[in-house]
Chains A and B, each alone.
Chain A
């Protein structure tokens, strides 16, 4: 019975992988994809930084045991993955290399290079390779040179590498320290980093964290000064609130002040008090932090990348829900090898697959009945697990943060006289909710 049971679970997982990933990856018509079907290589957890909010820093070994992060194994597995994709004539829409700090790891650089080589001559190619980086490589000129070479090559072969700069800014420096405390980011470092960003059109990706939230107005001004100095457009900054449990009421208040500041700054400093331009920017283009509450959605149920990716923990070829939920008990299963090649899949927690890929954030317990459910980014499953013990149970302090965020956006739009025009700029499927919540906030909540 047990054998048959396992076989049946494997069959469900394999059917899902084929339908959800392999068929789109093989398809020539990318339009048939309801939303992106990407592939994340969860490479490792090695990192020179000790960011305060980082889950790899806090839970690294539970998420990705170090004993399965041997360079030779990682490279061998990367070769197997690429051979499998080539053999099956398929290419994910995009690749993402996720690691503590990819560019200070020789093996990760190699894995990226292997990916470029593998698809260089293919008709079917990934559209891009994304690499989030803390810019640790900027400290080593020879590394900068190698990264640039890789980026040039990626453009030559038609699979451009896009970096995203995980830099939190001068005024939040203590949130992102180096593990080796003798290394510090100084003005010289930042100037080098920003000129690199300008050259390669790279945006910044700072995290809005509870610690030092009071510095964010200054931090914002600092970013914009640097952008100006290096000719980077003001909007090349992807702000994201860290949805960890540790937000205190006072910090949430400071967060609200920053949201208010950010909207006013955009209205006054960028768009010269032009209401239409400001609203169009806020709701349809700019700063993720403001916009993510109002996203139209594109067939995904979650506002994060969870359902866009197959997350593969490279060290053991484990398909995991994502890099923050790759605890042993959540592993969907592992790709199996025969004669050194990927050939089949062995399920572990396959029962979780349909739940993760079909869920809608607003259906989570508590969200179901929450006043802002249609305007909330909802919690991060990994963070929810870390704080509550359950992937799907919202963290009360994060709920408070999200309420305050939505309420502040509404109140600031009112304060600036933008609220009446706002509805027209909000994606249609969020308008009703926006109207309901803003009526409630402006008429009944002080």
Chain B
């Protein structure tokens, strides 16, 4: 193939004359088109000129690329605002708002107060679930943080103290060594040592206990659901949309119902964490079980496994690496929830951060935040190490060698207790040895704020005046009906009526529940956040794809960024830019930029070498190669990255409500403080629906683009 062709070939994609996705688009059928042409060419068309003009436009449009459709849609909405001006079209009238949230509130009331299964009520049921879950929680807390009281005979209480810090550090190091050798042992050990030295031990252990129990329950529940779902397409059709919803509805939205049903306390926090963290386990389980090579299953059947043996001895062990990936995800998401969970009663590091934030004690908050990060990194690396670990050939191993790690761990725990009895400093890390960095951070912030105030203020107001405000005003000014119609049109063009119907219904829900303006503010914050993330992501991603050493550095940074709980982003930003949209924006970008970079790198590295070589041979400059060949071919991947970016940005938007944005997230947050179930859930669904609309549209676009490029 001539390389010249490739350059022009790629250029051709800039203005593709071929219609997209002919499958679901009836207009693309040949006979339908020829009829259109006949209509157009017919010399005596007696219909009114307006209709004739419309037909012309319509037939043009049908074959136009999506980008042109979007422009037309924007134009239409603009025209409706300027010239056709019934006010209800522009701003959704308040009397039309459906009392959806009241309905939800009444449903909640009924659930809590009236629903009864005869012997017991619904509320009694949920409370007893809470009571049941409290058991393992209390035990874990006792072991790690508070110590365990055991009743011995004669009304005596035996108090067993919590694990000595030295033992925990030791066990972490042993786990690290078992997982991946000395390097990881050093990392895990020093991470926990850090927690002790920097005075976060007690809170950290409370958090660790809560995380361990949530992860254990979440992973087991996820595994069970995954097993059931993998076995039946019918159940899958129910479970998958539910998982989607669980992952897109912001956590805040279901905090309130959980509070109502389970009460304030660590157990409620744990339930919220489990709801948030379980979906990836379900997905990974399904994936792993479905991906078992058929021959392995058949060999199990031929050996005469019963169904249960087939599941436990063949399928699940064969899917172990996927299950471990799922477990890693559960751990990371649970850690992500630490701060939010403390809003409904979890103690520990999350509570410290929240309390510090509320009192604007930046230094202290940052210290606890960093402690969460340190723990997250340690747990992430540990679980990843076990996920990637292949079974080892222990040919001549003795019992002692085979169980070296577990034996050593037991020895360290017992030894820790023994030594702790003799030297109390090994039991509880003495306060006098602690180092605090709080004042340092406070000082640094103060220094920056004093010395760079003008520059920071200049950035802040510059962003606000030139970018944020105009865009916000523009979005809020858009007529709701026009936007819904435009979305519907684009969806129709991409994938036909079904998608259009879904999109219109979801967007319509936001309008009729009266959240249109707030939703637009969410869209505005997210939109700008995504745009900035995409630009930054493209630049950095391209840079990383082109240079090996760069990509290594960037990978480490990305790994760290991804393990940070989203709250941590807020702190330094708020310190420098105070509360408001700019802080929110920066936090959003910092959190959401990761997938934009990752997918850009992936997409560009995946451009077939032959295509790139052909471009170079035909004389494309590096600049041309990039713009005309690599970028167009990598675009579907980049779009997927942007899709992820949108999802992350939306989940961050809700959190930024804490720093004073006025969007859907704020509604959810207000609902939380007022304990208004209906408000919280409705606004939460609104956020979820924005996410769903974006997700489906981008996916549809990517699909049609992919099939256009001839990829699978």
A joins B in a complex: no
Q: B interface vs A, CB < 8 Å?
A: none
